[in-house]
Amino acid sequence: MNELLTPAEMSRADRLTIDAGTPGIRLMERAGRAVADATAFRHVLGTRVLVLCGPGNNGGDGFVAARILAERGYAVRLALLGDRSRLSGDAALAAAAWRGATEPLDGDGVVPMLAQAGVVVDALFGAGLARTLEGEARRVVEAVDRSGRPVVAVDLPSGIDGRTGAVCGAALHAQTTVTFFRRKPGHLLMPGRAHCGTVITADIGIPDWTLREIGPALRQNCPALWLDRLPAPRLGDHKYSRGHALVLSGPALRTGAARLSAEAALRAGAGLVTLVAPEAAAAIAATHLTAVMIEAFADAAGFAALLADPRRNAVVLGPAAGVGEGTRALVAAALAGRAGLVLDADALTSFADAPETLFDRVRGRPAPVILTPHEGEFARLFPDLAERAVGDRPKTERAVAAARRSGAIVVLKGTDTVVAAPDGRAAINDNAPPDLATAGSGDVLAGIAGGLLARGLPGYEAAAAAVWLHGECGRRAGPGLIAEDLAAELKPVLADLYRRAALPPAEPPPVAIRQEGPTLPPRRLLVGSQDEDEPGGTD
């Protein structure tokens, strides 16, 4: 269930299903029923429903939902953008089965309709949104948003691009979004995610085999992607078998960032962690650290000597390391060694003038390299792929292009952190709370990734697991968290994961909304919603 389908891939899934014998109208019927279910689930009988339909199949879903809600006793008003006679295909069939009035829809007329509505079903535009909203369509969307009425969006909140999550001129904010078969990148990528509310994924009878034909590259980041590479500590383990991570400290007055990373690496399960520091910094760090060991070095050659022991299998470089030639030399020394590497913060910025000199050393290196830039650091290494440089190119594509170019696993951080590999795999993370936007939180993330590399996880899995664990720690630590709080939260998060991994996979794949049959809320309504107890789940 963690595959994400672009609108083009989704349309292919529709097409494959239809070609295999399921009529399109049946899919639309199930889609509309799922929307009606979700609306009825949240809004009691007696609520006045306003269904706003657009000119395509998204509007067709709206006609079906309107009919089913009316059959269930809701007072339903339906308004259509454009001419009814121009509806075609399945949408025309759905409209023909609607027995109520079809009112014209425009930016002025919708205002009094909204005043009377208890809930709005937004069936204006879904996967077929093709351009910036203008004219009446835009005025309607803006009026709905201004009204503050709760919105149930069909497939996507109208105005959100399902591929990129971008707002095309204007977009609704939904309380609930009902999508079909699999979520779309636009449900997870910002700003789309902030418009979706709770996302429900409904089963409309598209079979899973279509995924094999389509081969989608994008995933939601969840334990299913990496849990089998993250075994619980086993009988017979000793500290050396769990790996040894080195974390580079900054100078005397800047040791805090590396200390955060080092503690996180240890909590993530590295058997040993050593903070390696310039002499003066080592003395300061020593007053703060207990389980984390400390070794001092004088120069890049001394640093390289510390890496010579092959048991030291992971290195975290960058947090508060300082920008410039000194850090470049340490990165070069680490890249010449055999340990897995996490390069963060100053280790990235130090290569802003000549990123290719970094990538040349990364490409073809047998041990993994993980880069963890936020958008600012990313723009320094990949200026042509920066957010502001590329218009509507989604974050996922930018991260994959950066991974291909650099040969590294790229963790492009933010609310919707994307983890990308040079082979084209990419996952979007959606469990991180905004409380993580606090100083030092990225240092903790780098440390977790380093700890997981030390434990022997491959680069992509280590990076994706680190991002997810970091998000869970943020959720557990909650509002008011500071970076110091995060690493200790790894204890309950890991305990929960290990417990889940030990359980047999008892549950069938979650079926969000039963396809036929009784009308009222199914047993498991929510899949992959922001409200779930276990975001991401293990599915």
Ligand X SMILES: Nc1ncnc2c1ncn2[C@@H]1O[C@H](COP(=O)(O)OP(=O)(O)O)[C@@H](O)[C@H]1O
Q: Known binding site: residues? A: 57-61, 122, 126-132, 155, 158, 257, 374, 413-417, 442-443
Q: Does 350 bind ligand X (CB under 6 A)?
A: no
Q: Measured between alpha carbons, how far is 475 from 349 in angstroms, rounded to an integer?
A: 29
Nearer to ligand NAX, 36 or 204 (CB): 204
The answer to whether 448 touches 245, Cβ cutoff 8 Å, is: no
Binding ligand NAX (rule: CB under 6 A), the pick from 1, 78, 133, 196 is 133
Q: Is 237 helix (H, G, I), strand (E, B) or coil?
A: coil
Determine phi and psi for 246, rounding to 5 degrees: -105, 140
State both tokens at 441.
């939180």
Residue with tokens 């709905």, as numbered in its chain: 144
Q: State in angstroms the smallest separation of the CB of 57 from ligand NAX.
A: 3
Q: Which of 109, 388, 65 is nearest to 202 (CA)?
A: 65
Nearer to ligand NAX, 32 or 422 (CB): 32
Draw the binding track, 328-347, toward ligand X (x: CB under 6 A; -: no contact). Answer: -----------------x--
Draw the binding track, 461-490, toward ligand X (x: CB under 6 A; -: no contact). Answer: ---------x--------------------
Helical H segments across 20-86, by residue range: 24-42, 57-71
Q: State in angstroms the smallest separation of the CB of 208 from K ion.
A: 25
Q: State in angstroms the smallest separation of the CB of 480 from ligand X.
A: 15
Q: Does 439 bind ligand X (CB under 6 A)?
A: yes
* CA terminus-to-terminus distance, the chain: 6
Residue with tokens 């240890």, as numbered in its chain: 266
Q: State in angstroms the smallest separation of the CB of 523 from ligand NAX.
A: 23
Binding ligand X (rule: CB under 6 A), the pick from 90, 203, 443, 485 is 443
Residue nearest to ligand NAX (CB): 128
Nearer to K ion, 158 or 210 (CB): 158
What residues numbered 28-57 form the site for ligand NAX, per CB under 6 A? 28, 31, 54-57
Query: Please, which contacts does 277-281 make with residues 24 or more away whose CB atoms are closer than 8 Å?
Result: 277/248, 277/249, 278/249, 278/251, 278/252, 280/251, 280/252, 281/249, 281/250, 281/251, 281/252, 281/254, 281/255
Bridge partners, 427 (sequence order): 219, 419
The answer to whether 371 touches 406, Cβ cutoff 8 Å, is: yes
Torsion of CA 116, 91, 55, 76, to 10 degrees: 0
Give the up-direction half-sphere exposure of residue 183: CA atoms within 13 A in the CB hemisphere.
33
Q: Does 189 bind ligand NAX (CB under 6 A)?
A: no
Length of the chain: 539
**Residues contributing to the site for K ion (CB under 5 A):** 122, 126, 153-154, 158
Question: Which one of ligand X, ligand NAX, K ion, none interacts with residue 14, CB within 5 to 8 A by kind?
Answer: ligand NAX
Nearer to ligand X, 113 or 345 (CB): 345
Q: Does 180 bind ligand NAX (CB under 6 A)?
A: yes
Draw the binding track, 196-215, toward ligand NAX (x: CB under 6 A; -: no contact). Answer: --------x-----------
Q: Does 396 bind ligand X (CB under 6 A)?
A: no
Nearer to ligand NAX, 78 or 331 (CB): 78
- Sign, CA dihedral 202-207-212-214, equals negative
Q: Measured between alpha carbons, how far is 339 from 357 in angstroms, rounded to an integer?
A: 19
Binding ligand NAX (rule: CB under 6 A), the pick from 63, 74, 98, 125 is 125
Q: Does 436 bind ligand X (CB under 6 A)?
A: yes
Q: Which parts of this chain interact with ligand NAX (CB under 6 A)?
A: 14, 24, 27-28, 31, 54-61, 90, 125-133, 137, 154-155, 180, 204
Q: Which parts of this chain interact with ligand X (CB under 6 A)?
A: 345, 374, 413-415, 417, 432-434, 436-437, 439-443, 445, 470
